[in-house]
Amino acid sequence: MNNHEKDPVISLDLMGGDSGPAVTVPAAKRALLISKNLNLILVGREQECLPMLKKHGLLDNSRVKFIATPNVISSEEVPSHALKHSQDTSMRKAIELVADGSAHACVSAGNTGALMAVSRYILHTVPGIDRPALAAFVPNEKKQRTLLLDLGANVECDAKNLVQFALLGCSEFSRISNTERPKVALLNIGVEHNKGREYIKKADAILTGLKEVDYIGYIESDSLFNSDADVIVCDGFTGNIALKSSEGLVRLIVKTAKQRYRGFFSLPVLLILKGVMSKLYPDEYNGASLLGLQGVVIKSHGSAKIKATANAIIRAQYEARIGLSDRFLELLGKNLF
Amino acid sequence: MNNHEKDPVISLDLMGGDSGPAVTVPAAKRALLISKNLNLILVGREQECLPMLKKHGLLDNSRVKFIATPNVISSEEVPSHALKHSQDTSMRKAIELVADGSAHACVSAGNTGALMAVSRYILHTVPGIDRPALAAFVPNEKKQRTLLLDLGANVECDAKNLVQFALLGCSEFSRISNTERPKVALLNIGVEHNKGREYIKKADAILTGLKEVDYIGYIESDSLFNSDADVIVCDGFTGNIALKSSEGLVRLIVKTAKQRYRGFFSLPVLLILKGVMSKLYPDEYNGASLLGLQGVVIKSHGSAKIKATANAIIRAQYEARIGLSDRFLELLGKNLF
């Protein structure tokens, strides 16, 4: 048992997300109540954080340490600019605490592109991985769940990125689900080999030739929640569009249900929708992993509320318990491209 | 009143779709029953079509004409190859009937890429439009409906294509809904100007400068069904991913509802879902328009069943009644790029 299995330390960027410390501080308190051996290093700007930390009684909690940083990365900043000016920001400090071994994992709800750029700069990628990918589970009718990546960390991708994401996804799925050979698919707009964009076709050809990977070909996005795949791979733009369209539709259905069926009938309808939403919605199932880094970084949803943010912290604690190495990652050392 | 307002003639590619004449022939019969002044020119391969036409009593129907073509474009063919070998195919013949004035509109459930390539070759685009776009309505919580394009006709797009799609979409929405200035948005993975792919940012800059267009900026796909936009524009890959992800999620919810709530409670749940589905699902709301052509071409869903295919024919009849010209199209003559 490693030290952090007994006493996990998570660094939390208090300034991230739409509401900043107003959400992250009470979320930290909630996570500490849920997880009795959790330790937190909270990072943020003194003027906004101290009043909240005081209000929630976290200043004199022995499991909490606060580190003041003067700067913040805003949600509007482009990643390159954010990285260049990341010195003394809450996000960077939270990541540095992972790099220097003070924390076992870091959680931030800040600017996704900046989180990727800074994490990559500070923690470096696993050898063989060019860019980290954001991964989260989506519900699957046929199986318990499917890991979808990338969800927005990489707006533009090439074939090499997609193949690396496939290996990262397999590694992660295998680790979490004890599945020897996870089935991996590429998201595309047709199932025939000639369909889709060029970089997807190239990735298809490379994955088809990799006997170590159980590659099952293309899936279309109407099979996103009903496929044989354990891992579904796409570029970050596409993953973001796919996941958020579905979220939008669930919201539409919930509104329609509430408007049309008040009272007696509304309960079963809302219960069903809640069941599906709990797997898709940030408030219920928050925290996407930034895979491919030499350290654990969890992205919390920008609009996540207290409960959801606490979930991301708990999730980080779980991730922090397990090592990253995997036989799929050995493949990355080989010359595939 | 034009001639075709009294007696619309629609050409139907009997060979298109997953089931071919087994679906298209009974769908033609259904459309003829629904619409009393509809005339159909049915096009397909004799050996498969004649038995079905005979079975459904369409051979001696005075409102039906059958044209035999020996060839068929398969769903696997790449558009360029399909176009090159399109001579004497049912799809091409159906389109040629629109070009030579024999039909007012054409319906096909065949290969989308091929349908675009052949339509463009035979009918040509409206002056100022480089490529046609596939457009369909999606439900919108705030408004009755939103026109989404492109849905898969153009896998790769540049800024110019997106701006042209915006103008085509505005033209179509304005025509159908009697809205003087439809609000148009670009689909992206963030709402800030610096977010997203390069060609989207360029289109954003061009549209921002067009005072004739009521451009409202980016929307993210979680607002696809809940925005102020009348028209939402994206490349065909993205549109296909967004729409099909949502379809997939509705299917997941329906399955979950059926499994968990049998009997008494299942009725209201399924009614609500049916209400939403009827706006998204091919069986209930079929037929996307290929906009930007000098002629009306309707794409029926490949998996559409009899009722849905009949709906696409009825839709084509409606489209055939109205001219294409519009003040937005004048803009296309100007040098925007």
- Does A265 contact B268 at a Cβ distance shorter than 8 Å? yes
Residue A256 has pLDDT above 80, yes or no: no
Q: What pTM was estimated for this model as a whole? A: 0.87
Pairing of strands A105-108, A9-13: parallel
Task: Fill in the DSSP letter of residue B185.
Answer: E
Of the pLDDT bands very low, low, confident and very high (cuts 50, 70, 90), residue A176 is confident
Q: How many domains does chain B have?
A: 2
What is the sign of the dihedral through the CA atoms of B221, B225, B228 and B234?
Answer: positive
Same domain? A257 vs A319: no
B308 and B272, same domain (yes or no): no
Cα(B286)–Cα(B304) distance, integer angstroms: 7
- A237, A255, A268 member nearest B197 (Cβ): A237
User: Following DSSP, what letter does each residue of B131-182 receive, concatenated?
Assistant: S-EEEEEEE-SSSSEEEEE-SSS-SS--HHHHHHHHHHHHHHHHHHH--SS-
Q: Is B304 in the same domain as B208?
A: no
Q: What is the pLDDT of residue B249?
A: 84
Regarding whether B83 and B201 lie in a shared domain, the answer is no
Mean pLDDT of A302-320: 87
Clarify whether residues A274 and A196 are in a common domain: yes
What pLDDT sits at residue A325? 46
- C-alpha distances in Å from residue A126, one per residue of A21, A158, A175: 32, 18, 16
Q: What ipTM, to 2 d.p.? A: 0.85
pLDDT of residue B334: 65
Q: Are B203 and B186 in contact (CB under 8 A)?
A: yes
Inspect the interface and report whether the beta carbons of A245 and B221 lie closer than 8 Å. Answer: yes
In a domain? residue B333: no
In a domain, B281, yes or no: yes
Q: How many whole angstroms separate alpha carbon B16 and alpha carbon A266? A: 42
For residue A218, what is the enclosing H or E element? strand A214-219
Identify whether the C-beta of residue B269 lies closer than 8 Å to the C-beta of residue A256: no
- Domain C-terminal end among B285, B307, B331: B285
> What is the per-residue pLDDT for A282?
47
Claim to verify: residue B181 and residue B117 sit in the same structural domain: no
Shortest Cα distance from A194 to chain B (angstroms)? 7
- Tell which residue, A311, A323, A298, A310, has the closest CA to residue A91: A298
Range of the domain at A206: 131-289
- If asked whether residues A327 and A283 sit together in one domain, one would say no
Residues A221 and A160 grouped into a single domain: yes
Q: Give the tens place of pLDDT for each residue, B234-243.
A: 999 999 999 9
Give the single-character DSSP code of B89.
B
Position with higher pLDDT, B191 vs A124:
A124
Question: Residue A269: which of B194, B197, B272 has the nearest Cβ?
Answer: B272
Cβ atoms A274, A268 nearer than 8 A: no
A337 part of a folded domain:
no
My answer on whether B44 and B119 are in the same domain is yes
3 state DSSP class of A291: strand
Q: Of A201-210, B3-12, B76-85, B163-172, which gets the smallest average pLDDT? A: B3-12
Residue A21, φ and ψ in degrees, nearest 5: -60, -25
Please give the residue of chain B at the shortest CA–CA distance from A197: B155
Minimal C-alpha gap between B336 and chain A (Å): 27
Q: Residue A184's domain is classified under what CATH number? A: 3.40.718.10
Helix (H) or strand (E) holding A245: helix A236-260
The reply to whether A178 falls in a domain is yes
Mutant choice from B224, B245, B250 vs A, greatest count of A C-beta within 10 A: B245
**Closest residue of chain B to A221, computed from CA coordinates:** B245
Place of tokens 């891992």: A231
- β-pair type (A288-291, B39-44): unpaired
